[in-house]
Amino acid sequence: MNLFRHLCRLTALAAILVSGCSSPHGQPAKGSEVLAPNEVLDFGSLYAENCAGCHGAEGRGGAAIALANPVYLAVADNAAIRKVIANGVPGTAMPAFAESAGGMLTDKQIDVITKEIRSRWSQQGILDPATAPSYAPKSTGDAQRGAVAYKTYCESCHGPGGGGGRKGSARECARLSSPADLNWERRTGEETCPESPCRTRKSLT
């Protein structure tokens, strides 16, 4: 019996020695290293850390526009989305995320976010047979016509001058949304400001 116990102890000791030799003392095990922030390329991590706070979990919207919207993604192409992520939108709450613009994300990380937003949340043929409107305005705005359009379609919900009404403040929408987003909303009738849903126009024009 004593001999058997002695052999068991020797076997256990040998196993410990072998495992110790395979992983030098103080060296992290393979796969245990924490990636540097600029090396993270997992969409879930990048989106959660940089986008979800405003655009909501799973892109469903929050303080800013919902990104998991197939109609929006059919109108806004990758170049437009990438430009906004990289450079931000002056005059709104959307900051620049590219390192070259003072942000914290590399070009590869921005590429991952842009690609995965479309891969996960777009829907092929969502606008068929309609013709998608341009994402950004193609001409200079007309303030007088805009005032008439606002009074006709927006004032009843957002109040005179956009100061607030039963559907919230249009000024807050303007702070959270880019001019291109607001143009997209006007053209499609889709919602970009979750606090002030403007659905006065239901079809593409």
Any idea which of 30-44, 57-71, 126-140 has the lowest mean pLDDT? 126-140
Q: What is the pLDDT of residue 3?
A: 60
Residue 178, Cβ density class (10 Å: 0-12 exposed, 13-18 middle, ≥19 buried): buried
Helix (H, G, I), strand (E, B) or coil at 159: coil
- The answer to whether residue 8 sits within a structural domain is no
* 67 found inside a domain: yes
**% pLDDT > 70, the chain:** 64
pLDDT at 204: 37
Domain hosting 81: range is 38-121
Task: Tell me the mean pLDDT in the region 118-146.
Answer: 80
Per-residue model confidence (pLDDT) at position 7: 58
User: Taking 60 as the threshold, does the pLDDT of residue 162 lie above it?
Assistant: yes
Is residue 84 in a domain?
yes
Return the pLDDT at 178.
Answer: 59
Tell me, yes or no, whether 62 lies in a domain.
yes
The neighbour count for residue 138, using CB atoms within 10 Å, is 8
Mean pLDDT, the chain, rounded, equals: 77
Report how far residue 195's alpha carbon sits from residue 153's, in angstroms, rounded to the nearest whole number.
16
SS3 assignment, position 168? strand
% of the chain residues with pLDDT over 90: 36
User: DSSP labels for 86-139?
Assistant: HH--TTSS----BGGGT-SB-HHHHHHHHHHHHHHH--TTTTTTSPPPPSS-SS
The C-alpha R_g of the chain, in whole angstroms, comes to 27
Residues 6+ apart with CB under 8 A from 51: 59, 67, 113
**Residue 158: band (very low, low, confident or very high) from pLDDT cuts 50, 70, 90:** confident
- The stretch 3-32 carries a mean pLDDT of 61
Separation CA 49–CA 132 (nearest Å) = 32
- Strand, helix or coil at 48? helix
Burial class (CB in 10 A: 0-12, 13-18, 19+), 85: buried
- pTM over 0.75? The answer is no
| Residues 112-129, mean pLDDT to the nearest whole number | 92
pLDDT of residue 191 exceeding 90: no
In a domain, 89, yes or no: yes
Does residue 122 surpass a pLDDT of 70?
Answer: yes
The answer to the question of residue 115 being in a domain is yes
CATH number at residue 68: 1.10.760.10
The number of folded domains in the chain is 1
- Asked if pLDDT for residue 14 goes beyond 90, the answer is no
* 83 found inside a domain: yes
- Cα–Cα distance, 127 to 131 (Å, whole number): 7
Is the pLDDT higher at 53 or at 192? 53
Query: What residues contact 94, with CB distance under 8 A and at least 6 apart?
Result: 54, 64, 84, 88, 176, 178
Contact 183, 167 (CB under 8 A): no
Domain for residue 99, yes or no?
Answer: yes
Whether the per-residue pLDDT at 202 is higher than 50: the answer is no
